[in-house]
Amino acid sequence: MSALLPFVTVETNESPDSAIIWLHGLGSDGHDFESLVPSLSLSPTLSVRFIFPHAPKRPVAVNGGMEMRAWYDIYEMTLERKVDMGNIEESRLQVEALIEDQINKGIAANRIVLAGFSQGGVIAYQTAFQTNHKLAGVLALSTYLASGDGVPLAEDCQNGATPMMIHHGSQDPIVSPSLGIKARDLLIEKGFSVDYEVYPMPHSVCPEQVVDISSWLNERLA
């Protein structure tokens, strides 16, 4: 078995019994959302281990081949995007290994939330669709589906009934809001349990959204 991706760990209490694996966006790293943890105001009764992995460094075509942390290569920055599905599968397996690691450390799969921003959200979706573990929830932030054809029917998916929360900015110039809506509509059509919220923000996270994330996580992990 290959080594786990390096990651940042933040624990809200001793002896965590739940975990949130949070995947960053293109060109960022595992520290990107680390500072958000105190703002989430999780219930003091919860004992949560946050895992913020660092994506591998790879050349990214749309950025002139510059090497940066990326879950996958993007060939064309069109609305639909042309991406490296092989990279996505590689990253999915790396996130699957992180899930297995937390399970081996005593945290049940149904106490694990997958969260991802932008590229990280793409991998969160793919992992939820293909893993054999039933998770506590999927939080998809300012993201999209890499391939609509790859979305299974909910009845054929271990996480078909797992709550999925999609957040998107109405002013997002990087990932068009239409892609968030497209993901929502396809997931609902396939039978998944989906909620969708939009915020007056660009490709980012806003205070109002953080309050909503806090409520959703407290509910998922109560």
Cite the active site residues. 118, 172, 203
- For the chain, give the secondary structure using H, E and C: CCCCCCEEEEECCCCCCEEEEEECCCCCCCCCCHHHHHHHCCCCCCCEEEEEECCCEEEEHHHCCEEEECCCCEEECCCCCEECHHHHHHHHHHHHHHHHHHHHCCCCHHHEEEEEECHHHHHHHHHHHHCCCCCCEEEEECCCCCCHHHCCCHHHCCCCCCCEEEEEECCCCCCCHHHHHHHHHHHHHCCCCEEEEEECCCCCCCHHHHHHHHHHHHHHHC
The strand pairing partners of 68, in sequence order, are 58
